[in-house]
Structure 1
C-alpha cells in the first residue's frame, strides 16, 4: 500500500511539474494571460482523463485549486479575472470529482462536485453551474437515488443558457433519460433520448467548446442511450447501441473505449452470450488505464467468465 501511494504521488508530481502549476503567480497582478495559461492546463488535464482515467488527477487538481486560491488571496486583479479564476476552480473541482469517482471514492466525489457548484455560482457562469448540477445528478444516480437524480437534472435544464447550449442540453437530456428509465418512466426516457439527439443536431462543428465536453460525441450519446435501454430491460437494444458507441469512438478516448467494452461484455453475459463476452474481454487492453472503477467492473466480468 505504501509503495502504491508513493508511485501515485510521484505521478501526480510529474504531471504537476509538466503543467507548470507553480507558474501561476500568487503575488503581484493577475491578468487574463495568466488565466489563458490556466485554461490551457485544465484542457491538458481533461485530455489526460479521457486517455487513461483519473489516476493522479485528484492530487494534481486539488493542488492546482490551492494555488489558485493563493492567487485570489495574494494578487491584484479585476472583476473579469476574478470570475475567470472561480470558473477555473469550478472546472478543477469537477475534474477532481471525476478522478475520485474513478478511484472508487463516491463520498469524496460528492463533496468535490458540490464545491464545483459553489465556485460556478461565484463565477456567475451558467454553463459551469450546469456542469456541476449534471455531475451531482450522476453522483445521485450512482448512489441509487434515481428520483433525486432526475430532479437535479431537470433543475439544470431549467437554466435557459444550459438549454440553449446544444452540447450541454444534449448531455443533460441523455442523462435525464437514464434517470427516467431507472424510475420506470419509459415514455419520459424515450422523449429525453429524442431531445438529446435533437440538441446535438444543433451543434456547430466549427464552434469551440470547453475541453471537458470533448467526450460528448455521437459515440457518447450512443453509449448513454445504451445505459437507458439497459435500465429499461431492453438488452438487445442496449448491446447494439454500445457496439455502435465503440465503433464511433476515436482512438484517443481510451478510457471511454474500455468503459463501453466492459459494458458490452456485461450486456452479452446478461443475455447468455458467454462466447461473445469472452471475445469482447479478450480484445480489451486495459493495462494502460488508471481507473479503479473500470478495473473493478472488468474483474467482475472475468470472474463470471471463469466461474
Structure 2
C-alpha cells in the first residue's frame, strides 16, 4: 500500500495526493512548512520504494505528486527558506521521477524530467540540485549511447559539485565521467577518472553528503567500475568488480543486488565462463521475484542470447529454460 505523499493543510487548501493518483488541485494560495515537508517526504518515499522494488511499477503513479509539487512553486510563500525548500524538493522529485522513467527504459521521459530539474536548479541558484540533475543526465546519456554527452554532463556536475564540501559526491560524479570515457573507448581517460573517484571516496562520508546519495557506498563504487571495464571489453576485470559489488551490497538495496548480479552474469558470459554466467543469471532471476526493472531484464536477455551457443551444458540449459519461462506473460 503506497503511503500518502502530500497532506491537506488547513487554510492552505493543498490537496492530498498519493503515488497511486488522485484529483489534481486547481488552486493554491499559500504554501508553508507543511507543504515543503510533504514534497520532501514524497521524494524519500519514492527512493525507498525504488531501492526495494525497482522502477517499473512506480513511474506512472509518481506523475501526480510531481505535478502537485510544481504547482506549489506558484503558491504564495512567506519565508524565503520555505520557497528554497519547495524549489529544491520539486527538483529532487523531478529527478526521482526521471530515474523511474530511466530505469524502466523510458529515456525520452527521463531526459525531460532531468531537464526540468536542471531548470529548477538554475532558477533557484541551487548547486546541489544542479549537480544531481547533471549527474543523472550523464548517466542517462551513457545508457542512451551518447558517451560524449555523458562526459560533458559529468564534468558540468563536477563544476557544480565543487561548491559543496562533499568528497563522496565528487567521487560519484567522477564515476559518471569514467562511464562516458569508457563508452568512447578512451581507456586512459577512464582510468584517470576512476582513480579520482577512488581518491575522493577514500576521504570518507561527511554530514554534507546529499541525502539522495544513501545508495552510494563501496558496493556502488565497485558496480560502476565494473560497468566501465565491461564497456572497455575487459570482461575478467569487470566480473571481478561486479562480484565484489554483489558481496558488499546492503540487503536493503534489493534492486542494486539484482543489477550487480545481472552485470556479473553478462561479464562472465562475454568472458567465456558459461557455467558461472548461468549460475549468476539464476541468482539474478531469483532477485527479480521482488524487483521490477526493465534495465535488469534487458541485461538478462543479452546474457541469455550469449549463452544459447552453450545450451548443451546442463547449468546453461537450466538458466535458459527458466529465463524463457520468466519472460512469458503471466
Length-normalised TM-score, structure 1: 0.87
- What is the number of equivalent residue pairs in this alignment? 291
Q: Which has the larger radius of gyration?
A: 2
Q: Which of structure 1's runs of 4+ aligned residues deviate more than 6 A?
A: none
Give the equivalent residue in structure 2 for 1:77: 78
- Displacement of 1:290 in angstroms is 1.6
Gap change, CA 1:303 and 1:235, over 3 Å in 2: closer
Report the more deviating stretch, 66-75 or 134-143. 66-75
1: CA distance, partners of 2:74 / 2:165:
35
Give the equivalent residue in structure 1 for 2:97: 96
Give the equivalent residue in structure 2 for 1:168: 169
Counterparts of 1:15-30 in structure 2, within 5 Å, are: 15=2, 18-23=3-8, 25=12, 26=14, 27=28, 29-30=30-31
Gap change, CA 1:155 and 1:209, over 3 Å in 2: closer
Is 1:302 the equivalent of 2:304? yes
Is 1:40 the equivalent of 2:25? no
Find the partner of 2:294 among 286, 292, 295.
Answer: 292
- Displacement of 1:173 in angstroms is 0.4
Gap change, CA 1:169 and 1:162, over 3 Å in 2: farther
- Displacement of 1:38 in angstroms is 2.7
2: CA distance, partners of 1:79 / 1:221:
37
2: CA distance, partners of 1:102 / 1:213:
17
Give the equivalent residue in structure 1 for 2:53: 52
1: CA distance, partners of 2:247 / 2:264:
12
Alpha-carbon deviations, 1:235-279, whole Å to 9, x = none?
Answer: 111110000000000111111111111110001110111100111
- Runs of 5+ in structure 1 lacking a partner? 1-13
Alpha-carbon deviations, 1:50-89, whole Å to 9, x = none?
Answer: 1111134323432112222333334433222112111111
Equivalent residues of 1:61, 1:96 under 8 A apart: yes
1: CA distance, partners of 2:153 / 2:66:
26
- Runs of 5+ in structure 2 lacking a partner? 15-27, 312-330
Gap change, CA 1:125 and 1:57, over 3 Å in 2: farther
2: CA distance, partners of 1:51 / 1:68:
24
Report the more deviating stretch, 263-272 or 53-62. 53-62
- Displacement of 1:33 in angstroms is 4.4
More helix by share: 1
